[in-house]
Amino acid sequence: MNTRILRIDPQHPDSTAIAEAAEILRSGGLVAFPTETVYGLGADATSAKAVSSIFEAKQRPLTDPIIVHIADYEALESVAKNIPPIVETLAQQFWPGALTLILERSEHIPPIVSANQPTVAVRMPAHPVAQALIRAANIPIAAPSANAFSRPSATTAAHALQDLDGRIDAVLDGGQTMIGVESTVLELSGKYPRILRPGGVSLEQLQILLPEVTIRTELIEMSAAAEAPGQLIKHYSPRAKVLLFPDEKSLPALIHAAQGRIAKGQRVGIIGLNGEMPAFSGLNIALFPLGVTLEDAARNLFAGLRALDEQQMDVILAHGYSRKGIGAAIWDRLLRAAEGKVQGS
Ligand code: TXA
Ligand code: MG
């Protein structure tokens, strides 16, 4: 299959390109499109056949459920049922935006979307291209991140094409995404609301509305994906091995490890904030500066992992930052890229 590349202005999406992409979705095809978090790989969420082709294109196991995207609150009724009152409050505050809610699945959404679970994950993205596409298609859109299974998510159309060129019908190229890490996944069915995946909306932001919200910190092994399918430990992985260190204080240990790897003849890459780059001068390594703030780091994290992979690094070294705010999502993605292993612990 020849994947069509439809370039589009991210702020003022051209209606011809949107109409073309919407028509592909309506006829059961696959379209990658930008959201404010990462690129999604969209299909008609009401069609089991269309959704099954997402799993095929991504080589994603059928046990990993997919988020359904809507463009307005009214559409929620067709996707979920028995919606608890708190959802309207959360939606007023955080939708459109980087928050995904786990609700009871309606009959309009086939079980394959949710890996046969009675629930469904729903999100209303804020990106103008995503909004325009969902409205034009006039159906709920099932969309996981637009990467091959277990690879770093795509924050540009080029990243989506690296993994999916020839496997999907089209990509809407609206440039780099703004947030860079995926949405926060919030479960509401338990005794307390619980974050299953930290993301673009922080724990601290949610605590203002939901003081009792908790965050799931335990990690599920590859073999035990029961409670939150898709929360697999190996995720967001570049081909290179990722060596993750706890925090800023581990910088000397990180540099020592880099020197050791270089001495063994390995190709070493490091990602870090711009201000840290001078600490690595003189080392024979490839550097990918993530920017100045943690928001920059979130935006550029997956691009950094992919860029160092393109340069054929054997290992990529990184350390964690604050675990607060967007820092929680950065740490989670780094930890999964490192297959759950933290150096020196
Ligand atoms: O920002 C995002 O969320 C992006 C954009 C495209 O919207 N999407 C995304 O999708 O990251 P994906 O498939 O890569 O991640 C979806 C996450 C997985 O961790 C999955 O386990 C969880 O949401 N999830 C989906 N449906 C679920 C359900 N019914 N119950 C529990 N977790 C669910
Ligand atoms: Mg994903």
Atom of ligand 1 nearest to the CA of 143: 6
Burial 17-29 (b: 16+ CB within 10 A, else e): bbebbbebbeeeb
Pocket test residue of 66, 99, 104, 159 for ligand 1, highest count of atoms within 8 A of CB: 66
> For residue 329, which ligand has an atom nearest its CA?
1
Pocket test residue of 30, 64, 94, 100 for ligand 1, highest count of atoms within 8 A of CB: 100
pLDDT tens digits along 21-40:
999 999 999 999 999 999 99
Q: Which residues, including other chains, have CB under 8 Å from residue 310's CB and lie 6 or more apart?
A: none
- Whether ligand 1 lies within 6 angstroms of the CB of 143 is answered as yes
Asked if 70 and 79 count as a contact pair (C-beta separation under 8 A), the reply is: yes
DSSP 342: B
Q: Which residues, including other chains, have CB under 8 Å from residue 198's CB and lie 6 or more apart?
A: 184, 215, 328, 329, 331, 332
Distances (CA, A) of 289 to 43, 143, 239, 276: 35, 30, 19, 8
- Whether ligand 1 lies within 6 angstroms of the CB of 155 is answered as no
Q: What is the pTM of this model?
A: 0.95
- Whether ligand 1 lies within 6 angstroms of the CB of 180 is answered as no
CATH dotted code for 4-215: 3.90.870.10
Q: Is the pLDDT of residue 103 over 50?
A: yes
> For residue 124, which ligand has an atom nearest its CA?
1
Superfamily for domain range 241-337: Threonylcarbamoyl-AMP synthase, C-terminal domain (3.40.50.11030)
The answer to whether 4-215 and 241-337 have equal CATH topology is no
Rounded CA gap, 67 and 306, in Å?
Answer: 24
User: How far does residue 345's CA lie from ligand 1's centre (Å)?
Assistant: 29
Beta pairing partners, 171: 5, 32
pLDDT tens digits along 289-335:
999 999 999 999 999 999 999 999 999 999 999 999 999 999 999 99
Q: Which sequence spans correspond to the domains of the chain?
A: 4-215, 241-337
pLDDT in the model for residue 232: 53
Atom of ligand 1 nearest to the CA of 105: 29
pLDDT tens digits along 35-74:
999 999 999 999 999 999 999 999 999 999 999 999 999 9
| pLDDT band of 234, cuts 50, 70, 90 | confident
